[in-house]
Each structure stands twice: as structure tokens, then as C-alpha cells.
Structure 1
């Protein structure tokens, strides 16, 4: 399942994703400021990273917005945005 997470809803979103063995977390908008400690793949929307001038940690992969849209169409999503 894809978890879209923004900073204001991060606590509950990450807690929910942590209980899902098939979670993929995507940090969006101000969520790119986060460095989640979670045992799941974590990506950050590249455009949001660039706009905010954030340096991602090595365990967070930038992902193009178009790829996020494609993932949203292809799989179930829980939004914490």
C-alpha cells in the first residue's frame, strides 16, 4: 500500500504505515522535511524536495511526481496529507 505523508499528519501516518508489511511511504509537500525511522521503502516527491531545498538522507529516494501519480492509479493509497 502507498502512504502519502505530509508533515502535519506524519505521526499517525507513519504509525499506520509501520503496521503494514507492504508499505511504501511517499513524503509529499512539507513531509519532505521528515526523516522517518520506519522499516519500509521511503521516497520523497522530487519537486517538493527541490522547492524546499532539502537534502535527503541516503535512505530516502527522490521520486518524480509523475511516478507518484502512476503509483496512485496502480495501487491502494492511504493519504495523510
Structure 2
């Protein structure tokens, strides 16, 4: 599964630089996560780094983009090979 940022986001700017895949960017009103780039930090870290630094806990799993650990690892290999 990729992650998503909910409307509780306060635009504190701490999540974007923590993403090793560059999946987080400023949206129209709040930060957004590109599900094509989000691997939940699989391949980089044991836990999603954006969730670790978020002060308002507004980065849950995105139910619209469900992926297994194996699929996330495959996506990691594709992203890092590019």
C-alpha cells in the first residue's frame, strides 16, 4: 500500500525531505504523496520516514492503493534502477 496525506496536514514541511523516493510534494492545499513513487520506505528503511516525523499523525495507509510487501519491494527496485 502506498501512503496518503489527510486534510489534517498543517504543511509543516518536515515530510517532504524525509522521503527517499521523492514521492511527497506540495499540493494545492496540503502535501500529497504520489502512489507510483511511494514504497512505504520499503528497501530504504524499516518504517515510513514521513510517518515518523509527522507531528500531527496525518499519513495513514491509502486504501485505494493496496500493495503487498513484495510489490513495494519490486517498485523500490524499479525506482532505484531509474
State the TM-score, normalized to the length of structure 2. Answer: 0.31
Q: What is the TM-score normalised by the length of structure 1?
A: 0.31
